[in-house]
């Protein structure tokens, strides 16, 4: 049987990770689109055209094609916090 956990305990346990998400400007609810983006990358590698991929994913995930384009654009961005900060 699982023990109950308080919100505070979950936040405390994941504090460093959550801090990094906030610093990078990532909202925790963005996790909902991880599978959609993985499907996009797979279909793209398989040679499908972007318009076909977007229409397919919009239907599969029950969202508009505009939202799919938005998600693809958002999740494709590189994070400045992950780039090398070496001097020189």
Q: Which tens digits make up the pLDDT trace of 52-69? A: 999 999 999 999 999 999
> How many alpha carbons fall within 13 Å on the CB side of residue 37?
13
pLDDT tens by residue, 13-44:
999 999 999 988 899 899 999 999 999 999 99
What pLDDT does 74 receive?
94
Confidence of residue 84 (pLDDT cuts 50, 70, 90): very low
């Amino acid at each position: 049987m699982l023990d109950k956990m308080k919100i505070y305990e979950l936040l405390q346990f994941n504090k460093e990770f959550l801090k990094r998400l906030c610093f990078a400007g990532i909202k925790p609810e963005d996790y909902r689109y991880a599978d959609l983006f993985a499907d996009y990358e797979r279909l793209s590698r398989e040679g499908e055209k972007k318009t076909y991929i977007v229409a397919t994913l919009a239907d599969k995930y029950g969202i508009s094609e505009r939202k799919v384009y938005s998600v693809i654009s958002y999740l494709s961005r590189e994070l400045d916090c992950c780039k090398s900060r070496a001097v020189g």
